[in-house]
Amino acid sequence: MRTIDQSLKSPRSSYIESYYQDSITIATKGMDREIVRILYLYTALDLSSNKFRGKIPSIMGDLVALRVLSLSHNGLQGQIPSSLENLSSIESLDLSVNQLVGKIPPQLASLISLAFLNLSHNHLQGCIPQGP
């Protein structure tokens, strides 16, 4: 999760089979979902509903290969670390239902792959950063 293999970034149709491996069952949001063929490039980390307390570690920004990160429904406090701007591949970021405070870091606006952002049910204030 800390490195991105550039050779695997854009699969060619003739090699697409090699990008899918194994199968797993993912339990998320109280539902089990079987994924028959896992996309090798897809990296998700769901740490929601674990009663975590304290600040979001800035080292989370080192996980540059993450596509999905959910830290929702915990007791996380403090500000959103600006190091999350390093999550250059992130498509979904869910920090909802915590006790986060302060402003939304303007650096999050530079995450051009980010399609889903949930910061609801926190104590954030200020404007939502605008970006691409």
CATH of the domain at 98: 3.80.10.10
- Is residue 44 classed as helix, strand or coil in its secondary structure? strand
Residue 129 maps to a domain: no
Residue 51: burial class (beta carbons within 10 Å; 0-12, 13-18, 19+): exposed
Q: What is the span of the domain harbouring residue 70?
A: 6-124
Confidence category of residue 34, pLDDT binned at 50, 70, 90: confident
Rounded mean pLDDT of 18-41?
Answer: 66
Q: How many domains does the chain have?
A: 1
pTM score, whole prediction: 0.75
| CA distance linking residue 128 with residue 75, whole number of Å | 22
3-class DSSP state of 42: coil
